[in-house]
Amino acid sequence: MTADDFDPKLALQRVYNGAGDEERPLLFPALESDHGRGVYAAWLDRHDPARAEALRLAERLDGADDPAAASRLGELLEGLDPSWWWLFQRATIRNCGGGRGRPVKLRFRLVCPESWTTLTPTGEAGVRRCERCEERVYRCEGVDEASERARQGQCVAVDPALAREGAGRDAELVILGRPDYVAMWADHLFPGEPGERPQPS
């Protein structure tokens, strides 16, 4: 599978189904906490050094611009499963510029195939550029900032913890599975807008 034909909605299922008996118990903790991610990276050091290195490079690039690390990560990603890589993004990008013309709620719910760590630095803290849709992407530190930028039609990078907070009280009612808190957040942000609708056949 290539980066062009992967479906983020199926990423977890694909990765879990493709993992071995030793790896599977490590996946969910790695997705939920930094400690679990560290344990998983240590396991990958012994079983798949390329993925271990990618995780550590992503952590470095998450908070700083490092051209050498970015170049190396780009090399590694050419040989890695896009579904696996997608799962381990610390900040997903929403309100994608590629969705211009869509209803705002639907555009906010769209899953951008890019990641914060692979966006182009602009020299401005918390702002990177998406070369795919030629938009500036803003790394948001709080729900209010992300909500306001989304209402203005700007692309935002949202951390998992922030997404859960933005989803509101309904997020606390979810106890099973891995809900899409950002999609829930869209319902709070744009209550009067159309949501996802079936495409005509």
Of the candidates 116, 135, 137, the residue with the CA atom closest to the CA atom of residue 63: 116
Whether residue 40 is found in the same domain as residue 83: yes
pLDDT band at 3 (very low <50, low <70, confident <90, very high): very low
The answer to whether 155 and 97 have CB atoms below 8 angstroms apart is: yes
Q: Could you tell me if residue 157 is inside a domain?
A: yes
Mean pLDDT of 181-189: 76
**pLDDT given at position 196:** 53
Question: Which residue among 38, 72, 87 closes a domain?
Answer: 87
Whether residue 120 is found in the same domain as residue 66: no
Q: Could you tell me if residue 162 is inside a domain?
A: yes
Asked if residue 51 has pLDDT above 90, the reply is: yes
pLDDT in tens, 8-40: 678 888 899 999 999 999 998 898 888 999 999
Whether residue 66 is found in the same domain as residue 100: no
pLDDT in tens, 128-169: 998 888 889 999 888 888 888 888 888 888 887 777 777 776
pLDDT band at 64 (very low <50, low <70, confident <90, very high): confident
**pLDDT given at position 54:** 95
Q: What is the 3-state secondary structure (H, E, C) of 141-191?
A: CCHHHHHHHHHCCCEEEECHHHHHHHCCHHHHHCCCCCCCHHHHHHHHHCC
- The neighbouring-strand residues paired with 120 are 129
**pLDDT given at position 50:** 97
**pLDDT given at position 5:** 55
The tally of domains found in the chain comes to: 2
**pLDDT given at position 40:** 96
Please tell me the pTM assigned to this model: 0.70
Asked if residue 46 has pLDDT above 60, the reply is: yes
pLDDT in tens, 95-125: 877 777 887 887 877 777 788 888 888 989 8
Domain that residue 173 falls in: 92-189
Q: Could you tell me if residue 197 is inside a domain?
A: no
